[in-house]
Amino acid sequence: MILSCSHLSKSFGSKTVIADASFHIEDHEKAAIVGINGAGKSTLLKMITGELASDSGEAVLAKGKTLGYLAQHQDLTSSRTIFEELKKVKQPLIDMEVKLRSLEKEMKAVSGDALEDLLSQYSRLNHEFEMENGYAWKSEITGVLKGLGFEETEFEKPVSTLSGGQKTRVFLGKLLLAKPDVIMLDEPTNHLDMESIAWLETYLLNYPGAVIIVAHDRYFLDRVVTKIIELDGGQASVFQGNYTAYSEKRAMLREAKMKAWLNQQQEIRHQEEVIAKLKSFNREKSIKRAESREKMLEKIDRLEKPAEINDEMTIRLEPNIISGTDVLTVRGLSKAFGSQQLFRNVDFDIKRGERVAIIGNNGTGKTTILKILNQLTEPDEGEIRLGSKVHIGYYDQEHQVLHMEKTLFDELQDAYPSMDNTQARNILAAFLFTGDDVFKRIRDLSGGERGRVSLAKLMLSEANFLILDEPTNHLDITSKEILEDALIHYTGTVLYVSHDRYFINKTATRILDLKNQTLINYIGNYDYYLEKKEVMESLYAAPESEEPEEAPSEIKLDWKAQKEEQARKRKRQNDLKKTEEEISSLEARDGELDELLTREEVYVDHQKVREINEEKDQIAGRLAVLYEEWEALADEE
């Protein structure tokens, strides 16, 4: 065991955030702390580091072990460059290298015992230098910086000129290079693009020390951790396995707790009814028996009703008007800012019912595409056509569609004046804003709260084409799951930008990857994208200086071929549905005819029996054909 946390508690005023939390971390273990926003995850990390004093309990790090901590926000005020800042971490190795070079010079000038003494020093120091991978310190720094998304041209940038997110990445790089025995990361993926997150996953999987992570990135947690510590109502519960395993176990436990509570409530009600009935008899013996039961009832250890978190916020997004089949057509779209070309000559189509995710590294132009579609930014070139009866609902990550000076209540009522006060309050309550919360000003809300207000407005808009920019940013895991469920059941069309791979995997029916100034189309979710990524990139997104290698002709799917494949899949699904419906209808009719044949007024009427049997023969013949058609369609790939 490398870290032990025993009976940790912390309150702020009258609010208890952590209550008697206990768990431990083993050497080399990778663990995650999860819970809804405000559950106390960051507070727990700060208590472990000693940055925040606990009210009771203690966190004990094993003797001689080191601990490193990445908070959500880092404000580095260094005058050094990015490379120099990370180089600081390797200063002991650099000093060691300088000493080795000095010893080499000294050895050239001495002999005898003095030489033996220097050789002994040199041998010990060189062994330590090699064990610390001293000869590779420069390449190690370069590898970490590139892994975290810095280009080599940025290495000489002064840290003081960086954005908050870039400073956090620099601090993360320093922490990884320092290699503490326990590394604690609070939302490490917030400022990373997909490639950097994938690099960090691999780095942490191979990290020799223990890792504790607070993150809302479920795909990341699934890949990295083997233990989940859940904070719920101030209590800490430990689950073995990754996030998916934890989610399944949690659902089972919640169900079991709810069942136990319901059973106990049923027993309590039963006893109360019996007591009332005994008392109503108004006999001394019956009253004594009633009193005896009352005493037993008082001694029952009453279970608390489990919180049904997933039922607290319900989003139902339903279009008021059905759009045409062709929702969006984009041809020849190009955009540059100064000398920076984001994308050029981009073509794509979106059909009704699709849920399309645009992915790509930071700075490639994903949000710019959404802004162009919403007429917030002008393209340099290109044509954009909306289909028949298409009504757009837009959700932007900066929440520009919100008015900062308004209250939540006014924000909704001003946008939808036909709503009465009760309707407005009910909508806000569905998004966890109750009581006096509805009179808070938008400017005073957190990022996650503003996101919920934007989603509430979107729900009311009854749009049939949702365009969403990072909809899961600042949402806790529970809220993400609720939004996923809403989009999966949404009958309109969705186009969104997201870095949340778990969210993409659950909701996307198609992915557009913005890479090397073009879009690569993947007809599937994120798992499918990972499977096809290498082949598709070699065909469509090779840098201009490179000639893509010749790939087998059967995988050279151009845009038209992919669209044809997509249309074929849709036709197959429609044909399957129609075939199943006809089979169901004919089987039901066949059952009706069988029932008719059991009636006396029918089976004595030979003419009627013959007609029924002829119809049954026709149904049997048609069903034989349909069964074969269904089987063929079901086997189609």
Task: Indicate the domain borders of the chain.
Answer: 1-76+162-241, 94-158, 249-307, 326-557, 565-635
Percent of the chain at pLDDT > 70 equals: 92
Reported confidence tier of residue 508, pLDDT bands at 50, 70, 90: very high
For 370-399, the pLDDT digits (tens) are 999 988 899 999 999 999 999 998 887 665
For 95-153, the pLDDT digits (tens) are 998 999 998 888 888 888 888 898 998 899 999 988 888 888 899 999 999 999 888 88
Q: Which amino acid appears at position 375 of this protein? A: Q
| Domain 326-557 identical in fold to domain 565-635 | no
Helix (H) or strand (E) segment spanning residue 372 = helix 366-373
pLDDT at 292 over 70: yes
Conformation bin of residue 313: beta by default, left when phi > 0, alpha when psi is -120 to 50 = beta
Query: Which of 62-76, 146-160, 389-403 reaches the highest mean pLDDT?
Result: 146-160
* Residues 266-275, mean pLDDT to the nearest whole number: 89
pLDDT of residue 555: 42
pLDDT at 554 over 50: no
pLDDT of residue 318: 73
First to last CA, the chain: 51
**Distance between CA atoms of residues 348 and 540, nearest Å:** 14
Q: Which amino acid appears at position 437 of this protein? A: D
For 453-464, the pLDDT digits (tens) are 887 787 777 789
Residue 86 class from Cβ within 10 Å (0-12 exposed, 13-18 middle, 19+ buried)?
A: buried
pLDDT of residue 191: 79
State the CB neighbour count (10 A cutoff) for residue 537. Answer: 15
Give me the architecture of the 565-635 domain, per CATH. Orthogonal Bundle (1.10)
* Residues 597-613, mean pLDDT to the nearest whole number: 86
Residue 238 · residue 212 · CB < 8 Å: no
pLDDT of residue 529: 92
Percent of the chain at pLDDT > 90 equals: 35
Query: What does R_g of the chain's alpha carbons equal in angstroms?
Result: 33
For 300-338, the pLDDT digits (tens) are 888 887 765 444 455 566 787 888 999 999 999 999 998
State the CB neighbour count (10 A cutoff) for residue 1. Answer: 11
Using CA atoms, how far residue 401 sits from 111, 462, 464, 511, in Å, is 80, 16, 18, 26
Secondary-structure class of domain 1-76+162-241 per CATH: alpha beta
What are the phi and psi torsion angles at 229 (to 5°)? -110, 110
pLDDT at 627 over 50: yes
pLDDT at 560 over 70: no
Task: Give me the chain's average pLDDT, please.
Answer: 85
Reported confidence tier of residue 558, pLDDT bands at 50, 70, 90: low
Residues 6+ apart with CB under 8 A from 563: 349
For 425-467, the pLDDT digits (tens) are 877 876 778 788 889 998 888 777 787 788 778 777 778 999 9
Describe the crossing of helices 559-597 and 606-635 by its angle, rounded to 10 degrees.
160
pLDDT of residue 224: 94
* Residues 269-277, mean pLDDT to the nearest whole number: 87
pLDDT of residue 553: 43
Of 590, 607, 559, 11, nearest to 331 (Cα)? 559
Residue 40 · residue 231 · CB < 8 Å: yes
Using CA atoms, how far residue 22 sits from 30, 35, 56, 448, in Å, is 17, 15, 11, 29
pLDDT of residue 557: 47
What are the phi and psi torsion angles at 443 (to 5°)? -65, -20
* Residues 9-35, mean pLDDT to the nearest whole number: 91
**Distance between CA atoms of residues 201 and 166, nearest Å:** 19
The greatest distance separating any two alpha carbons of the chain, rounded to the nearest whole angstrom, comes to: 126
Reduce the DSSP state of residue 14 to 3 states and report it.
coil
Q: Can you list the alpha helix ranges (DSSP code H) found in 179-319?
A: 194-205, 218-224, 243-281, 284-299
Kindly report which listed range (47-61, 72-86, 188-202) carries the lowest average pLDDT score. 72-86
**Distance between CA atoms of residues 627 and 590, nearest Å:** 15
Residues 6+ apart with CB under 8 A from 221: 32, 34, 213, 215, 228, 242, 243
Residue 65 · residue 262 · CB < 8 Å: no
**Distance between CA atoms of residues 40 and 235, nearest Å:** 10
Secondary-structure class of domain 326-557 per CATH: alpha beta
Q: Which amino acid appears at position 343 of this protein? A: F
pLDDT of residue 547: 44
pLDDT of residue 203: 92
